[in-house]
Homo-oligomer: A and B are copies of this chain.
Amino acid sequence: MPDLEIQIGELTLKNPVTVASGTFGYGQEYEAFYDPSLLGAIFLKSVTLEERPGNPPPRLVETPAGLINSIGLQNVGLDRFLDEVVPLLEGIDTVLIANIAGNTVDEYVQLAEALSDCPGLAALEVNVSCPNVKEGGIAFGTSADMIREVTQEVVAASALPIIVKLTPNVADIVSMAHAAEEAGATAVSLVNTFLALAIDIETRRPILGNATGGLSGPAIKPIALRMVWQVARSTNIPIIGMGGIMTGTDAIEFLMAGATAIAVGTANFVNPLAPVEIVKELEMFLEAHHHTSVREIINVVEG
């Protein structure tokens, strides 16, 4: 049996297969299918300072090999997260990572502080795809300066390892990852969803209640994989790779491109067993190629 354990800074994951924020709720919904403790880590759905109702429906539209969502960060807010959600996590024996989202640097800081002493949380993922209201609503994640600022402040505010989740809606993903690295992040997650639109030609309106949403799923995999590879070649920060991973082969591509771990997102909806099947396929690949550890196939693509 090959060793699947990987290390991301001070975090040890039993295997590199995790589930992406917002696609796995808080870990309960998939318990009917398998024990979530089998996962390397669980990225919890984004939490914000205040409760958010989320965007008006429709919130989902299927596209060729993809899915556009505009959930709009619906969540119960920090206080109820601590009171109601955190207790639910107790039985899950894997690395639990909260994902925080805010509209100002201060909101991120408050979230990071409040969650730092939260029992059971091993790290924080910082979702920087949100609009910065102080900068006219441009997403934090589209500016290296804003990423640097948020990261620095969150790192200072929390004792937990900080993972910065980057948006792919940028010209130069490497400079964004660099900014996170310099500012002290433990890792980066690559990638969040691509801003997208679908139109109903009968009503002549956007299908989604929020007009635009984020594209995920196999459609985006080639772009996400390119970004992971670029960042791996130009930085030293560990990467959690995601974007359209459906199978073990997809996961192995991301690992070879330079991701230390991968996250399964939309694939959970298509095949609720996808993460555990990917663990198995990964194991089989390693065995077939006589590897004793998954670490031997991480970041091996030069090209």
Contact = CB atoms under 8 A, between A and B. Distances in A.
A116 interface: no
Contacts of A68: 222
A198 interface: yes
A256 B257 CA distance: 39
A277 B249 CA distance: 37
A125 interface: no
Interface in A57-114: 63-66, 68
Contacts of A249: 201
Contacts of A170: 170-171
A201 B198 CA distance: 34
B199 A301 contact: yes
Interface string A202-222: 001110000110010111111
A198 B222 contact: yes
B257 A197 contact: yes
Given A142-B172, A170-B171, A215-B223, A204 B301 contact: yes
Contacts of A300: 204
Nearest to A139: B171
Given A197-B229, A199-B225, A225-B198, A206 B66 contact: no
Nearest to A244: B64
A253 B206 CA distance: 10
Contacts of A195: 223, 226
B63 A196 contact: no
A68 B249 CA distance: 18
Nearest to A249: B201
Given A215-B222, A219-B220, A222-B66, A205 B301 contact: yes
A197 B171 contact: no
B205 A302 contact: yes
Nearest to A63: B222
A269 to B, nearest CB: 15
Contacts of A285: 201
B171 A219 contact: no
A252 interface: yes
Contacts of A256: 199, 201, 204
Given A199-B253, A201-B253, 16 more contacts: A64-B221, A65-B66, A65-B218, A169-B171, A170-B170, A170-B171, A194-B222, A195-B223, A198-B222, A198-B253, A199-B229, A201-B249, A201-B285, A204-B300, A204-B301, A206-B301
8 contacts: A63-B222, A169-B171, A197-B229, A199-B229, A204-B300, A205-B303, A206-B303, A215-B223
